[in-house]
Chains A and B, each alone.
Chain A
């Protein structure tokens, strides 16, 4: 076993409780509900376009938060560089999207 020890980190040495599937099923159901709300808002429609779009973007944002947090483990510790990588991408992508949405047909 000595050969293995050099690679064992603090994280792998301590015993992990193997988490059950409950947390992920909750994330799945939350994603389903958020999706349903978004579809229902469009099907019900007829209210106010900008209000519906606001609801849609809120639901998408929340769903991404749930999925990246739970399924991609971004809420777990040791994900600082993951968050920096994704936020860096979002910064550039967000600049492009704001440009296209508000300034492309100025």
Chain B
């Protein structure tokens, strides 16, 4: 009784919820996101506790951060979240190629964000803000770097899903993966909202 034997090749509406497996995947992913909230919450709490502990002569948040770089990164990630939701909408409309192109654009934005973050981190290291410089620098790189690692994983994951949809088509098996990776991408954007608020903007305010 495989559920993906659509004789007319017509996908059901909301194909990610068409099978029990698909619905379970979405439910399980929400519980995973709840655990991710805890993970990032602990990293944020470590950062909040240590953000003033710079030590003698080491760069402070206010000296380091360049708000225009952060604004560009924020804009890139926010826009990629919009293209990701367009991919999910194209999937719901059964438009496979439109969905793939939106996913490709999302991945490219993700790569742009990563490039900017790598550039930013290398600038900081040049300015004497290494991983072990101070408690502030360690908690900063752990929190922001963990978010960057999530972006890198998302880029890899969505790329693999694009390959699988190209190979196997848009079915009730592949659709839940597209939907769930979209949830993941939005979640990464939501975490970034707190990072630019708590780390960068509050770092500038003091």
Contacts and interface: CB of A to CB of B under 8 A. Distances in A.
B193 A96 contact: no
B35 interface: yes
B75 to A, nearest CB: 8
A100 B18 contact: no
- Contact-size category for B: 35 or more
Interface stretch (B109-117, B124-132, B150-158, B181-189): B181-189
Given A11-B14, A101-B48, A85 B78 contact: no
Interface of A: 1, 3-4, 6-9, 11-12, 15-16, 18-19, 21, 24-25, 28, 31-32, 35, 38-39, 41-43, 45, 49, 52-53, 56-57, 59-60, 63-64, 67-68, 70-72, 79, 81-82, 85-90, 92-94, 96-97, 99-101, 104-105
Contacts of A100: 44-46, 48-49
B41 A59 contact: no
- If over half of A's interface residues share one DSSP class (helix, strand or loop), that class is named, otherwise mixed; here it is helix
Contact of A64 (B17, B86, B93, B190): B190
B65 to A, nearest CB: 10
Contacts of A3: 1-3, 5
Contacts of A6: 1, 3
Interface in B7-46: 7-8, 12-14, 17-20, 23, 27, 30-31, 33-38, 40-42, 44-46
Contacts of B183: 72
Given A7-B20, A59-B197, A42 B204 contact: yes
B202 interface: yes
B92 A16 contact: yes
Given A12-B18, A52-B205, A56-B197, A85 B189 contact: no
A7 B37 contact: no
B67 A42 contact: yes
